[in-house]
Structure 1
Amino acid sequence: MRPARRLTLTDDVYGTIRAQLMDHIVAPGARINIDALARNLQVSPTPVREALARLEADGLVRKRPLVGYTATPLLTREEFDELVEMRLILETAAARRAAGRQHVPVDLDRLRDAADLPGPVPGAQGYASIAAFTAADARFHNLLAELSGNGMLREAVVRLRPHLHLFRLHFPPTHYQTSGAEHHRIVEAVAAGDPDRADAAVRDHLLAARERHLPYFRPGPVGPAHDAGPAGPTAR
C-alpha cells in the first residue's frame, strides 16, 4: 500500500489539474508538459503522471505515442449532439428499469437527497464556483443508473462523464433554477413505479439541458468565438 500522504498528494494534484482544464488555464488541445507542470505545482513528476492517468480515464486529457498528453478539445456541435443522443438512450432505459423495480425506502430517500443541487459557491470563480453542482448532478444521474439494477448500464452511464465535458463549454446559469426541479420529477416517477413517466421525465430533463447548452454553439456572447469558459470572463 502507498502511504496516505502520497495518495492525498495525488488527489490534490488531480484536483488542481482538473480545475485548470475546466477553466481553460490549460487550453483545449494544448500539449501538457509534465516537468513544467510539476515545477509549477512544486511536486515531483510522479503525482502529475498519476493525476494525468486519472484525467485520461475522465476523458479530459489524451495520451498519444511520441507526443504525450494533450488537453482534450472541446466538444464540437456534432459530438455534443451525439452525447445527448447517447444519454437519451442510456438514461431513459435506466429510468424505466429503476421505476419497474421494487426499492427499499432508503434507496428512494438516497435518490431524493441526490436530486437536490447546490447553488454557486459564494466568492468562488471559474470551475470552483460550479464544482459542487457538477459533482452533485453526476451523483444523481449515476445513482439513478445504479437503481436500474443493471451493472453494465450503470457503468456505461458513468463512463460517459457528460458533466465534465458539457461544463467545459460553458455553465448555463439557468441550471441552478431548473435542474433540481427536473430531478425531483424523475424521482417521483420512479417512486410511483411508473416506467413511462420516468422515461418521459428523464427525456424532458435531458432535452431541456440540451437547450440550455445550445447557445454556446451559436454566434454571440457565449458562442465559440466569445466563450469565456465555464463561469464567465475570469475563468480563463
Structure 2
Amino acid sequence: MRPVKLAPAHPHGEALLRIPRRSVLTDDVYLQLKTLIMNNAIAPGIRINIEDIARQLEVSPTPVREALARLDSDGLVDKLPLKGYRTTPLLGELEVRELYELRLLLEPFAAGRAAVRITDEQATALREELATCPVAPRESRYEDYQPLTSHDTRLHELVLTIAGNSTVTDAFQRTHCHLHLFRLSYAGELGDTTLTEHGRIVDAVTSSDPIAAEAAMRAHLESSRDRMLTSFAAKPR
C-alpha cells in the first residue's frame, strides 16, 4: 500500500504535520487527521496507510484505527473491504444540488414544526447556541473555522430535535452535510452571512411563528446553496 499523499497545506510552505513529539491519545489522532482531511492536506480519494500514519504520529496503529473508525462515521473516510481506508471524494456540483434538495425538503418543515412545539427551555437553548459563535472566523483553515462548523451543526440539529421527528433528524445526520460543504470552501464573508441567517431562524422559531421560521430556514438554505454553486462556477473547468 502506498503512503498517504499530502497536498500543500499552506501557501507559505509550513510543514504539514505539526505533530508534537509525544504520545497521543485517540482523540488527538482523530483531531489531527480530521484537520488534515478538512484542509485537503490529505488529498480526497487517497488510500490511507495506517502504519505510515502511526509512524508519522509516533503512536501505535491502534489509536489510528480507532480514529479512522470515527472519521468513517463522520463521512470523511470510507472503509474498503480488505483494503483499509481512503478519504472520501469532495462533493461535485450535482451532489451539492442534490444535498440541498434534500435539506430543502426536510429543514424548512422542521423549522416550522419547531416553532409550534418549542418550550421555554428549548428557546433558551437555541439562543445560547447562537451565542456560542458571535463572530465569524476570518481565516480559511479548518483550525480557524472549526468553531463555526460545530455551531452550524449543533444549531441545525437542535432545530430538528425541537421539531420532534427522529426519522428526519436521523436522515439529516447521515448526510454529514456541514463537514462536506465546509470542506469544499470557506471564506469570512460566508461565515458572516451564515450567522446573520442563523439569527433570523432563531428569532422566528423562538417567537413561535411557524410561517416565519419556515421562510427563514428556506431562505438560509437557498442562500447557502447559491453561494456554493457560485463558487463552482468561478472555478476553471
TM-score of the two chains, using structure 2 as the length reference: 0.84
- Is the 1:169–1:216 contact (alpha carbons within 8 Å) kept by the matching residues of 2? no
Structure 1 residues 210-234: Cα deviation after superposition (integer angstroms, max 9, x where no partner)? 1222233124xxx266xxxxxxxxx
**Match 2:172 to one of 157, 161, 178:** 157
What amino acid sits opposite 2:54 in the alignment? A
With over 3 angstroms needed to count, the CA separation of the structure-2 counterparts of 1:118 and 1:224, relative to structure 1, is farther
Structure 1 residues 116-167: Cα deviation after superposition (integer angstroms, max 9, x where no partner)? 4344558x76210101111111111111111111222222222222110001
Within a 5 Å distance, the mapping from 1:137-152 to structure 2 comes to 137-152=152-167
State the shift of 1:59 in Å: 0.6
1:134 aligned partner: 149
Show structure 1 runs of 5+ residues with no match: 1-7, 226-236
1:74 has 2:90 as partner: yes
1:34 aligned partner: 50
1:230 aligned partner: none
1:54 has 2:98 as partner: no
Within a 5 Å distance, the mapping from 1:77-226 to structure 2 comes to 77-103=93-119, 105-116=120-131, 117-119=133-135, 126-219=141-234, 223=235
What amino acid sits opposite 2:94 in the alignment? E
Partner Cα distance (1:217, 1:88) in 2: 20
Show structure 2 runs of 5+ residues with no match: 1-23
Partner Cα distance (1:186, 1:132) in 2: 19
With over 3 angstroms needed to count, the CA separation of the structure-2 counterparts of 1:193 and 1:119, relative to structure 1, is closer
Partner Cα distance (1:42, 1:224) in 2: 40
Structure 1 residues 19-70: Cα deviation after superposition (integer angstroms, max 9, x where no partner)? 0100111001111101001111111111111111111111100111233211
**How many corresponding residue pairs?**
213
Percent identity over the alignment is 46
What amino acid sits opposite 2:170 in the alignment? E
What amino acid sits opposite 1:140 in the alignment? L
- Is the 2:137–2:191 contact (alpha carbons within 8 Å) kept by the matching residues of 1? no
State the shift of 1:192 in Å: 2.4
RMSD over aligned Cα, in angstroms? 1.9
Partner Cα distance (1:119, 1:201) in 2: 20
SS in 2 for 1:63: strand
- Is the 1:189–1:201 contact (alpha carbons within 8 Å) kept by the matching residues of 2? yes
SS in 1 for 2:79: strand
**Match 1:65 to one of 81, 87, 92:** 81
What amino acid sits opposite 1:13 in the alignment? V
SS in 2 for 1:70: strand
SS in 1 for 2:48: coil
1:10 has 2:26 as partner: yes
Partner Cα distance (2:231, 2:44) in 1: 15
Partner Cα distance (2:195, 2:186) in 1: 15
What amino acid sits opposite 1:180 in the alignment? L
2:17 aligned partner: none
With over 3 angstroms needed to count, the CA separation of the structure-2 counterparts of 1:202 and 1:125, relative to structure 1, is closer
What amino acid sits opposite 1:113 in the alignment? E
